[in-house]
């Protein structure tokens, strides 16, 4: 009797056999999607592993300062901002953990899907394709952030299988595996999905285009973007501002996104934009964590010349200057109405003004009047984070066209993007009588050569995608990170003295370090040497 | 040497005194008067004088005098007194007797409850500390932890200081990484919960079983030591009524002095200057000097102030306790009944604790062979508490953060704050929390029957039960402060229900043969089952903040969230014990126990044994010493098992986690689909952790046991440490650990206990108790590839604001401080240039960090172990004086060599967290004209990263405290007997009289960050603004009828 007495089974837990049933498998699939937003555990610091990459993609670029209550507030992100990143920083580890959690959840789902016979073959193939899409995404993120990454597939089932070298596969082999996942997904996925959170065939092709883009495989970028443009059914919304309304977060402009929800019955609203919870801009209607603050350099970038084109000189923007209208949908500047709140953004909304200046984030902040913004802690929203939106696909194609000597084709695309900014709605003064600033933006009449086209393309990406987590990775893949960041620092440190001494080192800072804990705990080879090789320079 | 363990030491020592009755006069009556003294002539007040063969008796008065009317033909008086040899004195015609009682040299022969049996103290072969309860019942002590604190060598108490707050007892260091709480055995029922719900007045005796040979009979849960508590039982004799009560006032002893409004502004301007920034601040302006404005906001609603935020949080608080007990007994039964009420308000405003206790202990003797009985208690407590010792969410730390220039109230009398930071007004937070009560109802008790099967052979069956219900309410009202507001009120209700039963059956055989061989055999079987269920529910959006809206149904049903979990575990044990003594000279004991647990899978069963030997040298014929009248050597060895891990860690499956497994796969904004993820990384091969301990002890009695010493040396090694081992982060973020047997830990140390008592003249009596311990803890190994145990990121964030300041590493004591070594302040550029590279903008006034690996650059590889939170030496001293009717007690506690990591400095010393207040010490920060300072230059940008975890934060926490000073007065028995009183005592007690320490924080005794989490022992001694200990002045009363 005592042997029975000593058997206690857990409550609320499914066995391997039960999970293989169709209805439970569907929940296992949902569990894999759930990790897309970077919330990996029960803790409230998903801001160390944000899906939006606001720290990894924007703060370390010329687009944003860390912000917050001083350089000591989230000092770890400050260390990243001043390129003093070390392998022990919590963000370095938690971002890695979040992405490998995605790898693990998708691998588990793939493993069980492969085994199960309790689900129809079509559904099985489709869910397998979805999981491969997700796995491709997680590896893509790992690759662009950490470069030298260990690779695990669904055959890595036990903890000992997780001891893998990060140098065993060549660069091309890792990219090849990512391509394979997206190709596999593309082959199976349907052209449309009734459940908007699932990727479509063309989302897979679009992601594949991005994978090619990062490898400079321009011909493949052209063929894949062409497929997406012809068959994907995507289009640009009429108004730039409306792209970032939660109501439109599965609009035809959105190719693939992290689905966020609030007030959904789950504790702490961790299904909202939890990785961005420190971005609340302050002022009378928002909490004032005050992170992610536009740089003066970014503000200046929106200045346009008399032809309505980017002025490119990065001189200080004044209120009388012409500006690209996207500036006031992207960032909060004093004297400009903030969203639909009926009030002007003020310098005193900004936390620690002396250190981080007067500007605040705006593009991905949801109106405090919106039911999709949470007015209570953790102040998150239901606005999805866009991993790929259609404008992105278009500008990838434009970039590939420039590389393949079709600068006119590129100009057409860039101008399409600018046309939307020109023709769409503008921020108006509070009384609605006039535009809030001198908005003036025009199409490029011509590009003299490929260099000019590339300069325009790069600027257009910056203006269109500011604070969407892409800037740093663009600079790295363009090979201009050192030049752009060190130039930016040289000027910016005059007003932001904490940037004194900041130096981007070519060959080191393009990638973040491998977490020290991965090096320490990642296992050793037969010769007793660590399986994990740290990235260059760390 | 064995006994029914429901009988207590006192009963066994104290011959039953029957009711004193005056017999009607027969033919003869003689009045006999006399004086009872000890051999020094000190009168023995309270000695019993009984006419032999009758129930006629009296008690000697305060001066030792008595007067008795005897009626027998050849009357003999039996004179007895506790601690003295009972004497029979024929009256033989004398009418004035001078009776001198001899002290009982076998005073050590208290009988104490150890395992499932009891033993004479002099027969102990293990390391057992006996806490002298009778010394403490006349003191105002609110909890078991206060009784134990400082009273026993090798026993450390870590306390949260909050009313009804948590405490942890550590016996002989830290034998494991995770749970180091001892096992409590209350009237034979093991428990690990609800200790602060015990009424200290109900405790008859308390023993701490420290080594394996004494504790191992409790097997699986005894590796951290055992605290054995026996509650009071009815005593033979007439009904006795006792009242013990006190009332006191508590105040905070010491609070840090934070920067004033002006000091903060001046520091800010200094930081601007150091950084080369033109000063500009929304509050202090942009002039050449900071200016304190009339108002902090443009609307002129927040007037500037110079608030002492810390001082504003605390007030004088009251503590009261009332306890009344009734007891009686006779040959057939005895009973004890008590009710207690304890109320402690917090010195921190709007916190407090109430406790109501009820106890009934009875037993019945059915004939001469069968005893049945029960011990039963009901406790109810009501606690309003807040989170402290945390950088996030603690109102005390909130008061560190709120700049002094911010007023408590705005011009409308509402709580307000500082427009530039995100801190909730800490007084507002306390006020908003005031109705948030946690209620605990606990039923604890046992029923037993004992049958004498044959001479010396007893069977005992015991069924113990714990039923406990915790019910918590957490209502967060709406409020608006600058930059902090809650627009929707929310309410969380939580319930925890624990049901645990213990069924124990033992057979005990006690025999003496050939006069000299004494053998005691015990065999037993025990099974335990425990079930814990938790339930919580949440809503937000309440129509108002009134207390009568604080029910879930008043909230918006669309916002509801709920959770429910259930855990079960079981244990089965078989055990046996043999105690043998020969001629009261040689002692031997052997224990074996086999335990099975539901928490393990492939290795459910563990077998643990212990053996000990004792030699009473002073009982040998050759032993002659007059001075050292008793001398005993003890040696013990034994093993204990530990399986204290969460249930189910050996099995993995799939489950839903509401925090990270659900997803709006359909694109909805307000709903999600349920997701499943793997529940954990399971380890079915997990096995018992084993602690093996050696103990060598010597007990000395000197000068007829006036002075006794107990000296112990121990070494205990825990193998197969049970630990939730971190995996390489490639295994993901949700399940990034696995329970494993990972390594070994060692504790070794010396303990010394000494007691002295001398009645050296008629009027002044003196006794002293001293205990001392030296314990060294070291983690001796971890699994391959793992060189330290860290604190998980969740905890680091909420408690430490992501600062990793402690590590538990091989070769170091548990929870050692870890970081860079601060090696002074750079005085000029040449020193910076000569040193390893720190930062391009490092300037004079910045901290020089040591280049540990000598690679000419200071980076994260230059971190080292920079401090140890454990004391080198703990020393406690208790002094008692009695003079005439007065008694005086002084109790000192001290700790030497323990370090404190003062994490409060993270915000308080550095201006790169500029919107928060600073400590006043920043006024002395390094400047070119103040180069002697140890505080680095103030900087908003801190390019040198002075703020990083380093030895700058590590301070010496050595202290000496006068914990208790008490003066009591006993009214003369003659004076009170007219009121039928046998005791009437008043006392005045002071707690926390003074502390001598160099530590400049609130208090050098930090305790734990929390008392329940898995990693609570991993960040000992980190000061994040603790709940301050209070100084208490108490007036108390003890009455007995």
3-class secondary structure, A430: coil
pLDDT tier, B108 (very low <50, low <70, confident <90, very high otherwise): very low
CA–CA gap between residue A366 and residue A497 (Å, rounded)? 31
Q: B859 and A86 in contact by Cβ < 8 A?
A: yes
A192 touches chain B (CB under 8 A): no
Mean pLDDT of B588-594: 94
Q: What is the CA radius of gyration of chain A?
A: 23
Quick check: A376 and B490 CB within 8 A?
Answer: yes
Backbone angles phi, psi at A210, to 5 degrees: -65, -40
Q: Residue B699: is its pLDDT beyond 80?
A: yes
Cα separation, A86 vs A106, in Å, equals 29
Q: How confident is the model at residue B4 (pLDDT cuts 50, 70, 90)?
A: very low
3-state SS string for B277-299: CCCCECCCECCCCCCCCCECCCC
Contact between B1023 and B1002 under an 8 Å Cβ cutoff? The reply is yes
pLDDT of residue B794: 77
CA neighbours within 13 Å on the CB side: how many for A133?
A: 30
Collect all residues of chain B within an 8 Å Cβ-Cβ radius of residue A198.
Answer: 665
Answer whether A40 sits within 8 Å of B675, measured CB to CB. no
Q: Give per-residue burial for B399-410: e unless 16+ CB within 10 Å, then b.
A: bbbbbbbbbbbb
Average per-residue pLDDT for chain B: 90
State how beta strands B707-719 and B689-702 pair.
antiparallel
B814: closest CA among B180, B83, B23, B165? Answer: B180
Show residues of chain B in contact with A521, CB under 8 Å.
726-729, 785-786
Q: Which domains does chain B have, with CATH numbers?
A: 9-103 (2.60.40.1120), 107-233 (2.170.130.10), 651-684 (no CATH)
Closest partner residue to B729 among A259, A376, A517, by Cβ? Answer: A517
A287 contacts in chain B (CB < 8 Å): 422, 483-485
**Cβ B266 vs Cβ B923: under 8 Å:** yes
Distance of alpha carbon B251 from alpha carbon B992, whole angstroms:
10
> In A, residues 315-334, which contact B (CB 8 Å cutoff)?
none
pLDDT at position B28 is: 61
Domains observed in chain A: 17-521 (1.25.40.390)
Give CA–CA dist B418/B910, Å, rounded: 18
User: Average pLDDT in the B91-107 region?
Assistant: 71
Partner residue facing B655 (CB), from A14, A93, A282: A14
Going by C-alpha positions, the residue among A428, A236, A456 that lies closest to residue A329 is: A428
Chain B CB contacts of A520 under 8 Å are 728, 785, 787
Spatial CB neighbours of A305, under 8 Å, sequence gap ≥ 6: A311, A322
Max Cα-Cα span within chain B: 110
User: For residues B2 and B589, what is the distance between their CA atoms, to the nearest angstrom?
Assistant: 14
| C-alpha–C-alpha distance, residues B180 and B224, integer Å | 6
Cβ-defined contact of A497 to B277 (cutoff 8 Å): yes
ipTM over 0.90: yes
8 Å CB contact between B158 and B668: no
Chain B residue numbers with beta carbons less than 8 Å from the beta carbon of A162 are 727-728, 730-731
Do B667 and A93 make contact, defined as CB atoms within 8 angstroms? Answer: no
Mean pLDDT of B1008-1034: 92
Answer whether B647's CB lies under 8 Å from B569's CB.
Answer: yes
C-alpha distance from A259 to closest chain B C-alpha (Å): 6
> If residue B625 lies in a helix (H) or strand (E), which one and from where to where?
none
Task: List the single residue in B671, B915, B947 with the smallest CB-CB distance to A261.
Answer: B671
Nearest to B185 by CA among B268, B256, B85, B115: B115
Rounded mean pLDDT, B707-718:
95
User: Residue B103: what are its φ and ψ, rounded to 5°?
Assistant: -65, 140
Count Cβ neighbours within 10 Å for each residue of B493-519 and write b for 16 or more, e otherwise.
bbebebbbbbebebebbbeeeeeeebb
SS3 state of residue B901: strand
Please report which confidence band the pLDDT of residue B620 belongs to, taking 50, 70 and 90 as the band edges: very high
Q: Is B299 left (phi over 0), alpha (psi -120 to 50) or beta?
A: alpha
Which tens digits make up the pLDDT trace of B643-659? 989 999 999 999 999 89
Q: What are phi and psi of B923, to 5 degrees?
A: -65, -20
Instruction: Answer whether A19 sits within 8 Å of B654, measured CB to CB.
Output: yes
Q: How many other C-beta atoms are found inside a 10 Å radius of the C-beta of residue A353? A: 17
**Tens digit of each residue's pLDDT (9 = 90 or more) over B193-226:** 888 889 988 998 898 999 888 888 887 788 899 9
CB A270 within 8 A of CB B660: yes
Do A240 and A421 form a contact (C-beta atoms < 8 A)? yes
pLDDT at B445: 95
Whole-number CA gyration radius for chain B: 32
Question: What is the spatial distance between Cα A478 and Cα A455, in angstroms, rounded to a whole number?
Answer: 11
Q: Which residues pair with B570 in a beta bridge?
A: B529
Q: Do A351 and B945 touch (CB under 8 A)?
A: no
Of B733, B787, B860, the CB nearest to A40: B733
How many angstroms separate the CA atoms of A510 and A478, rounded?
11
Query: Looking at residue B508, what is its pLDDT?
Result: 94
Interface mutation vs chain B, best among A354, A378, A493, A508, most B CBs within 10 Å: A354
Distance from CA of B641 to the nearest CA of A (A): 17
Q: With beta carbons under 8 A apart, name residues in chain B contacting A376.
A: 486-488, 490, 540
Buried/exposed B264-298: b ≥16 CB within 10 Å, e otherwise: bbbbbbbbbbbbebebebbbbeeeeebebbeebbe
Q: What is the pLDDT of residue B985?
A: 92
Report helix angle A407-423 to A390-403, nearest 10. Answer: 150
Residue with tokens 């404005």: B293
pLDDT at B272 over 80: yes
Q: How confident is the model at residue B759 (pLDDT cuts 50, 70, 90)?
A: low
- Determine whether the interchain pair B570/A8 forms a contact, defined as Cβ–Cβ distance below 8 Å: yes
d(CA B293, CA B283): 7
Residue A497 with chain B: CB contacts under 8 Å:
275-277, 941
pLDDT of B16 reads: 36
Chain A, chain B: beta-carbon pairs less than 8 Å apart: 346
Position B137 scores a pLDDT of 64
- Whether residue A372 and residue B669 make contact (CB cut-off 8 A), yes or no, is yes
Instruction: Tell me which of A515-519, B135-139, B670-674, B1036-1040 is least confident.
Output: B135-139
Best of B290, B528, B667 to substitute, by most chain A Cβ atoms within 10 angstroms, is B667
First-residue to last-residue Cα distance in chain A: 59
Give A130→chain B minimum CA distance, Å: 12
| pLDDT tens for each residue of B282-307 | 899 999 999 999 999 989 999 999 99
Task: Answer whether residue B18 shows pLDDT above 70.
Answer: no
The pLDDT, as a whole number, for residue B26 is 46
Q: Which residues of chain A have pLDDT under 70?
A: 1-2
Query: Does A389 contact B at CB distance below 8 Å?
Result: no
The pLDDT of residue B978 is above 90: no
- Nearest residue in B to A289, CA atom: B422
Alpha-carbon torsion angle A265, A269, A270, A274, nearest 10: 150
* Interface mutation target, options A9, A69, A269, A515, chain B, most CBs of B under 10 Å: A69
Predicted confidence band of residue B760 (pLDDT cuts 50, 70, 90): low
C-beta contacts of B545-553 below 8 A and 24+ residues apart: B545/B475, B545/B477, B545/B478, B545/B489, B547/B435, B549/B489, B550/B435, B550/B473, B550/B475, B550/B491, B551/B491, B552/B491, B552/B493
Nearest to A87 among B572, B675, B860 (CB): B860
Q: Per mean pLDDT, which of B62-71, B190-199, B723-732, B949-958 is the most reliable?
A: B949-958
Angle between helices A90-115 and A22-34 (to 10 degrees): 160
Two tokens at B825? 């302040």
Report the pLDDT value the prediction gives residue B17, as an integer from 0 to 100.
36
Task: Determine the residue of chain B that is closest to A38 in CA distance.
Answer: B660
Q: Residue B203: name the closest of B4, B490, B8 by CA.
A: B8
């Amino acid at each position: 009797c005592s042997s029975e007495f000593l058997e206690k089974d857990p409550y609320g837990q499914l066995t391997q056999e039960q999970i293989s049933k169709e209805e439970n498998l569907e929940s296992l699939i949902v569990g894999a999607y759930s990790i897309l937003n970077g919330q990996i555990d029960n803790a409230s610091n998903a801001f160390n592993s944000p899906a939006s990459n606001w720290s990894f993609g924007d703060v370390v670029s010329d687009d944003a300062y860390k912000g917050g209550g001083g350089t000591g507030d989230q000092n770890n992100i400050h260390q990243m901002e001043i390129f003093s990143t070390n392998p022990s920083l919590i963000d370095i580890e938690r971002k890695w953990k979040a992405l490998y959690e995605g790898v693990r959840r998708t691998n588990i789902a793939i493993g069980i899907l492969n085994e199960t016979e309790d689900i129809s073959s079509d559904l099985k193939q489709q869910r397998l394709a979805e999981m491969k899409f997700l796995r491709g995404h997680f590896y893509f993120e790992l690759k662009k952030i950490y470069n030298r990454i260990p690779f695990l597939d669904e055959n890595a089932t036990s903890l000992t299988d997780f001891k893998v070298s990060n140098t065993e596969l060549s660069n091309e082999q890792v990219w090849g595996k990512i391509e394979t996942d997206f190709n596999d997904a593309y082959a199976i996925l349907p052209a449309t999905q009734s459940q908007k959170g699932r990727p479509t065939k063309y989302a897979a092709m679009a992601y594949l285009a991005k994978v090619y883009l990062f490898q400079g495989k321009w011909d493949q970028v052209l063929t894949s973007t062409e497929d997406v443009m012809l068959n994907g059914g995507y289009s640009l919304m009429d108004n730039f501002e409306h792209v970032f309304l939660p109501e439109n977060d599965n609009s035809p402009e959105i190719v693939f996104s992290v689905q966020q929800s609030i007030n959904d019955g789950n504790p702490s609203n961790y299904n909202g934009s939890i990785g961005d919870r420190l971005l609340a801009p302050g002022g009378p209607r928002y909490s004032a964590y005050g992170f992610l603050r536009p740089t003066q350099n970014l503000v200046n970038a929106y200045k346009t010349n008399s032809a309505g084109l980017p002025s490119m000189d990065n001189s200080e923007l004044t209120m009388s200057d012409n500006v690209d209208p996207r500036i006031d949908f992207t960032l909060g500047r004093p004297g400009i109405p903030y969203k639909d709140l009926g009030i002007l953004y003020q310098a005193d909304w900004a936390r620690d003004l002396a250190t981080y200046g007067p500007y605040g984030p705006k593009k991905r902040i949801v109106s405090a009047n919106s039911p999709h913004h949470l007015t209570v802690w953790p102040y998150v929203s239901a606005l999805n984070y866009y991993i790929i939106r259609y404008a992105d696909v278009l500008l990838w194609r434009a970039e590939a066209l420039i590389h393949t000597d079709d600068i006119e084709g590129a100009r057409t695309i860039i101008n399409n993007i600018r046309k939307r900014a020109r023709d769409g709605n503008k921020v108006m003064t509070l009384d609605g009588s006039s535009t809030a600033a001198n908005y003036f933006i025009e199409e490029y009449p011509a590009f003299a050569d490929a260099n000019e086209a590339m300069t325009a393309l790069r600027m257009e990406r910056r203006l269109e995608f500011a604070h969407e987590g892409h800037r740093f990775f663009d600079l790295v893949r363009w090979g201009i990170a050192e030049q752009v960041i060190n130039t930016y620092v040289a000027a910016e440190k005059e007003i932001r003295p904490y940037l004194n001494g900041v130096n981007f080192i070519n060959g080191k800072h393009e990638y973040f370090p491998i977490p020290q804990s991965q090096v320490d705990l990642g296992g050793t080879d037969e010769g007793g040497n660590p399986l994990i090789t740290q990235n260059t320079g760390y | 040497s064995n006994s029914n363990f429901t009988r207590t030491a006192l009963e066994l020592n104290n011959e039953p005194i029957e009711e004193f009755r005056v017999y009607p006069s027969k033919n003869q009556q003689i009045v006999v008067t006399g004086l009872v003294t000890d051999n020094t002539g000190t009168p023995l007040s309270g000695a019993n004088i009984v006419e032999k063969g009758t129930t006629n008796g009296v008690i000697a008065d305060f001066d030792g005098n008595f007067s008795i009317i005897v009626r027998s033909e050849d009357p003999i008086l039996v004179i007895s007194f506790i601690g003295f040899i009972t004497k029979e004195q024929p009256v033989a015609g004398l009418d004035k007797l001078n009776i001198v009682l001899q002290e009982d040299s076998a005073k050590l022969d208290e009988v104490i409850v150890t395992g499932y049996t009891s033993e004479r103290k002099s027969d102990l072969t293990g390391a057992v500390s006996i806490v002298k309860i009778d010394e403490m019942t006349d003191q105002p002590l609110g909890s078991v932890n206060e009784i134990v604190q400082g009273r026993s060598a090798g026993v450390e108490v870590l306390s949260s200081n909050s009313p009804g707050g948590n405490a942890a007892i550590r016996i002989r260091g830290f034998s494991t990484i995770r749970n180091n709480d001892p096992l409590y055995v209350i009237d034979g029922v093991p428990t690990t919960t609800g200790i602060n719900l015990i009424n200290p007045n109900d405790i008859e005796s308390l023993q701490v079983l420290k080594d394996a040979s004494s504790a191992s009979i409790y097997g699986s849960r005894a590796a951290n030591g055992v605290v054995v508590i026996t509650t009071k039982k009815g005593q033979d004799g007439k009904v006795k009524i006792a009242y013990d009560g006190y009332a006191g006032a508590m105040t905070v002893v010491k609070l840090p002095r934070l920067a004033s409004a002006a000091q903060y502004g001046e520091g800010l301007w200094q930081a601007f200057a150091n950084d080369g920034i033109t000063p500009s601040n929304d509050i202090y302006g942009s002039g050449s000097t900071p200016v304190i404005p009339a108002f902090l906001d443009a609307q002129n609603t927040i007037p500037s102030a110079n608030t002492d935020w810390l001082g504003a949080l605390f007030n004088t608080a009251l503590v009261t306790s009332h306890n009344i007990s009734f007891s009686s007994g006779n040959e057939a039964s005895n009973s004890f009944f008590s009710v207690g009420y304890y109320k402690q308000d917090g010195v921190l405003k709007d916190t407090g604790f109430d406790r109501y206790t009820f106890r009934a202990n009875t037993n019945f003797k059915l004939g001469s062979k069968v005893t049945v009985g029960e011990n039963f208690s009901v406790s109810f407590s009501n606690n309003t508490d807040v989170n402290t010792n945390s950088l996030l969410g603690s109102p005390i730390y909130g008061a560190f953060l709120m700049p002094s220039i911010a007023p408590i109230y705005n011009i409308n009398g509402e709580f307000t704050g500082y427009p530039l930071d995100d801190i909730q007004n800490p007084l507002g937070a306390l006020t908003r929390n005031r109705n948030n009560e946690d209620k605990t109802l606990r039923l604890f008790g046992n029923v037993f029957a004992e049958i004498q099967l044959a001479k010396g052979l007893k069977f005992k069956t015991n069924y113990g039960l714990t039923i406990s219900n915790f019910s918590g309410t957490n209502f967060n009202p709406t409020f608006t402060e600058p930059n902090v507001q809650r627009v929707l009120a929310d309410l969380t209700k939580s319930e925890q229900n624990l049901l645990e039963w213990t069924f124990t059956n033992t057979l005990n055989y006690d025999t003496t043969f050939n006069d000299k061989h004494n053998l005691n055999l015990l065999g037993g079987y025990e099974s335990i089952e425990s079930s814990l269920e938790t339930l919580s529910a949440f809503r937000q959006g309440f129509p108002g903040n009134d207390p009568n809206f604080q029910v879930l149904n008043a909230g918006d049903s669309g916002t509801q969230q709920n959770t429910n979990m259930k855990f079960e575990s079981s244990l089965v044990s078989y055990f046996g014990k043999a105690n043998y003594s020969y001629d009261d000279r040689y002692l031997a004991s052997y224990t074996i126990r086999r335990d099975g647990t539901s928490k393990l899978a492939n290795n459910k069963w563990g077998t643990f044994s212990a053996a000990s030997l004792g030699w009473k040298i002073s009982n040998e014929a050759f032993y002659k010493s007059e001075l050292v009248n008793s001398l005993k050597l003890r040696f013990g060895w034994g093993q204990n098992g530990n399986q204290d891990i969460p249930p189910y860690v050996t099995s993995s499956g799939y489950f839903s986690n509401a925090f990270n497994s659900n997803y709006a796969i359909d694109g909805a904004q307000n709903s999600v689909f349920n997701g499943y993820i793997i529940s954990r990384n399971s380890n079915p091969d997990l096995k018992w952790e084993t602690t093996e301990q050696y103990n060598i002890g010597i007990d000395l009695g000197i000068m007829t046991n006036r002075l006794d010493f107990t000296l112990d040396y121990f070494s205990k090694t825990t193998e197969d440490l049970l630990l939730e081992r971190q995996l390489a982060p490639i295994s993901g973020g949700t399940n990034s650990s696995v329970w494993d047997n990972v390594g070994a830990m060692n504790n070794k140390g010396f303990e010394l206990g000494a007691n002295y008592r001398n009645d050296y003249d008629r009027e002044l009596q003196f006794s002293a108790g001293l205990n001392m311990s030296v314990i060294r803890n070291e983690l001796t190994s971890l699994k391959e590839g793992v060189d330290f145990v860290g604190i998980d990121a969740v905890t680091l964030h909420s408690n430490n604001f992501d600062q990793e300041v402690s590590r538990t590493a091989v070769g170091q004591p548990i929870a050692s401080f870890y970081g860079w070594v601060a090696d002074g302040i750079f005085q000029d550029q040449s020193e910076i240039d000569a040193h390893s590279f720190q930062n391009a903008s490092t300037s004079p006034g910045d901290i020089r960090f040591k280049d540990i690996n000598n690679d000419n650059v200071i980076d994260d590889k230059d971190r080292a172990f920079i401090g140890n939170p454990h004391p080198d030496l703990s020393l406690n001293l208790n002094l008692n004086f009695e003079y005439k009717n007065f008694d005086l007690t002084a109790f000192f506690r001290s700790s030497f060599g323990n370090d404190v990591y003062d994490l409060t400095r993270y915000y308080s010393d550095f201006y790169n967290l500029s919107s928060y207040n600073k400590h006043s010490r920043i006024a002395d920060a390094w400047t070119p004209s103040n180069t002697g300072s140890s505080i680095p230059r103030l900087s908003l940008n801190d390019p040198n990263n002075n703020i990083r975890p380093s030895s700058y934060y590590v301070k010496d926490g050595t202290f000496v405290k006068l914990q208790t000073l008490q003066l009591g007065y006993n009214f003369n028995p003659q004076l009170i007997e007219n009121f039928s009183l046998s005791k009437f005592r008043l006392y005045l007690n002071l707690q926390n009289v003074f502390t001598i320490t160099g530590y400049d924080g609130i208090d050098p005794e930090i305790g734990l960050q929390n008392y329940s989490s898995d990693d609570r022992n991993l960040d000992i001694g980190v000061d994040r603004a603790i709940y301050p200990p209070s100084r208490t002045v108490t007036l108390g009363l003890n009455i007995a009828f």
